[in-house]
Amino acid sequence: MTFEQLSSDFYGFENALTAQEKDKIMELRAFLDAEVRPYANELWANAEFFPRTVVDGLAKLGMFGQPWEETRQFENTAVFRGWVALELARVDASVATLVGMQNGLVMGAIAVAGSDEQRAEWLPRFASAEVLGAFGLTEPLSGSDTAQGLRTVARRDGDNWVINGAKRWIGNGSISDVTIVWARDADDNQVKGFIVPTTTPGYAASRIENKMALRIVQNADITFTDMVVPEANRLQRGNSFRETAAVLRLTRAEVAWAAVGNSIGAYEAAVTYADERIQFGKPIGSHQLIQELLAKSLGNITASIGLVTQVSKMLDDGVQKDEHAALAKEYTTSRMRETVAWCREALGGNGIVLDYGVMRHFADAEALYSYEGTREMNTLIVGRAITGKSAFV
């Protein structure tokens, strides 16, 4: 398949991918255009999860498991995986979130903190989408402060652990087969991770209703009541929040890429509309102030692509730190919020109607802006790196 540069990739950054990576991008684009784009608005309106064919199709394309040697289907870089997140979110931020959770957070937790045996047992099952995963860290009373504030407790009882507590916001937690549950060890007060099949007695999940962003993702409230989990299901290399933070570090920059993709989705719809909509006898795209909205949007997108490309190169080179990923997430999600608002403005009243292609990206921007570290928390991580002083712990 011949590679086609996106007109929204104004400086042609994506051209730097290898020939094989470009082929994969074109396969992914074709898949998304056939299986996700035509149905996304309806699924979003109905707050309905993707059909199984979408999850299986993504698995077949190798979208789950690329960072991990056990499940990698082809050679690829962090920059490529960033482009995947962008291409997914350009069509729909919920499908980007699904891949980010399964591939990054869930498989990442097992890859970073699991034993070799746990990696061998679980990673291939997630890669093939035989099992769908969720990542359970946030709680009703602890969001930004999970490192200190986690209240879910795990008590060792012989070869088992007994877990009690509650989680909130857990993406796909009401439909997952397995959830990675982070809990505080009652003995040493350290945070540990557990691989929990959702059929385990004591696990109860309910979908969060009336959520007005990322409506396709099924976010859940979960409770654990005397839930017994074998020691064999505790992530064996995870003995503190350090490992949890290492997982989040892997995925934060990919959320930054998804924010650029979400902006592009809105921008492309605005460019099309500006060509078709006639006012004062000519397409609105020929009015100067509409051109300004489009030019400012393209400026945000182009600057953001440059930034995320470099932050992923730093990961490939083994020099990316927390503050680098935090700046990328803070910067691109802030620019995304401006961009989707400008694109919505360019559509006038139709900008708030789902069918015109901007509103879903506009609403979904709010979720990307707040999850995986809010703007404030990412700003404070950068502030700590600048000054050497933490303003939040």
Ligand X SMILES: Cc1cc2nc3c(=O)[nH]c(=O)nc-3n(C[C@H](O)[C@H](O)[C@H](O)COP(=O)(O)OP(=O)(O)OC[C@H]3O[C@@H](n4cnc5c(N)ncnc54)[C@H](O)[C@@H]3O)c2cc1C
Interacting residues with ligand X (CB under 6 A): 101, 135-138, 143-144, 169-171, 214, 219, 367, 370-372, 374, 376-377, 392
Query: Which of residues 136 and 165 has its CB atom nearest to ligand X in the complex?
Result: 136
Question: Least distance in Å: CB of 137 to ligand X?
Answer: 3
Query: Which of residues 83 and 135 has its CB atom nearest to ligand X in the complex?
Result: 135
Query: Which of residues 170 and 259 has its CB atom nearest to ligand X in the complex?
Result: 170
Query: Which of residues 83 and 371 has its CB atom nearest to ligand X in the complex?
Result: 371
Question: Least distance in Å: CB of 18 to ligand X?
Answer: 31
Question: Least distance in Å: CB of 392 to ligand X?
Answer: 4
Query: Which of residues 285 and 383 has its CB atom nearest to ligand X in the complex?
Result: 383
Give residue for tokens 């929990």.
Answer: 196
Question: Least distance in Å: CB of 95 to ligand X?
Answer: 14
Query: Which of residues 322 and 372 has its CB atom nearest to ligand X in the complex?
Result: 372
Question: Least distance in Å: CB of 72 to ligand X?
Answer: 24
Question: Least distance in Å: CB of 167 to ligand X?
Answer: 7
Closest-CB residue for ligand X? Answer: 143
- Tokens in use for 151? 């209240």
Q: How far apart, in whole angstroms, are the C-alpha atoms of residue 94 and residue 295?
A: 27
